[in-house]
């Protein structure tokens, strides 16, 4: 009888722990739901976008209407995720403070453009703008590298001239000592 009481006691403790875990889980879910509902969103052309991105979404849809013309996904999470990728790449290409892109940024942008293409977004306009910026950056880098090579060659010429002048100076000093 004592054994069955112990088993009952253990089972009761486990139920209480499980109940507490469930309560914590649901409390967390409710808090997350409250946070999500506090974020202001708008629907633009059937896409849910953060209210701070509404004007950008409208601009994209007006300027490049083909961008979402073929998007078939009915899953709002996929559509929202894709729009967020589009916004991030647009921000990088059009509003980046520095003109240089890190390799990591270029990889992320390329991967993002591939993701958008797979989701039936037409983003050739954004890809071409990114390619244009990368091309300009490469031209600048190539020009700088060419100038560095040119300056190094000029320095070598000056070093040779300087060593010739040192020899001439040494000879003049030797002549002076002989006088």
Whole-model pTM? 0.59
Rg, C-alpha atoms of the chain: 34
Report the run of H or E that residue 47 belongs to, with start and end.
strand 47-50
DSSP tag of 179: -
Q: Which residues pair with 50 in a beta bridge?
A: 41
Decide if 118 contacts 154 (C-beta within 8 A). no
Quick one: pLDDT at residue 45? 86
Break the chain into its structural domains and give their ranges: 1-38, 41-138
DSSP tag of 69: T
Please identify every stretch of the chain with a pLDDT value under 50, giving residue numbers as ranges. Answer: none
Report the run of H or E that residue 42 belongs to, with start and end.
strand 41-44
Please report how many Cα atoms fall inside a 13 Å half-sphere around the Cα of residue 42, on the Cβ side.
10
Quick one: pLDDT at residue 81? 92
Q: Identify the CA nearest to 43 among candidates 32, 31, 33, 53.
A: 53
Judge residue 131's burial from the number of C-beta atoms within 10 Å of its C-beta, 0-12 exposed, 13-18 middle, 19 or more buried: exposed
d(CA 146, CA 152): 10
What does the pLDDT look like over 139-177, one tens digit per residue? 888 899 999 999 999 999 999 999 999 999 999 999 989
Decide if 68 contacts 61 (C-beta within 8 A). yes
């Amino acid at each position: 009888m004592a054994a069955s009481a112990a088993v009952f006691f253990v089972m009761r403790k486990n139920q209480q722990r499980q109940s507490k875990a469930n309560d914590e889980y649901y409390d967390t879910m409710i808090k997350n739901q409250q946070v999500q509902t506090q974020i202001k969103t708008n629907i633009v052309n059937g896409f849910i976008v953060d209210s701070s991105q509404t004007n950008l979404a409208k601009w994209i849809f007006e300027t490049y209407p083909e961008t979402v013309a073929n998007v078939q996904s009915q899953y709002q999470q996929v559509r929202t995720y894709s729009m967020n990728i589009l916004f991030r790449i647009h921000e990088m290409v059009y509003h980046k403070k520095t003109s240089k892109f890190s390799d990591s940024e270029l990889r992320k942008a390329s991967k993002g453009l591939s993701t958008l293409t797979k989701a039936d977004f037409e983003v050739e306009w954004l890809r071409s703008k990114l390619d244009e910026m990368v091309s300009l950056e490469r031209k600048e880098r190539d020009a700088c590298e060419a100038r560095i090579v040119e300056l190094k060659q000029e320095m070598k010429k000056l070093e040779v001239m300087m060593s010739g002048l040192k020899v001439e100076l040494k000879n003049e000093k030797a002549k002076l000592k002989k006088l």
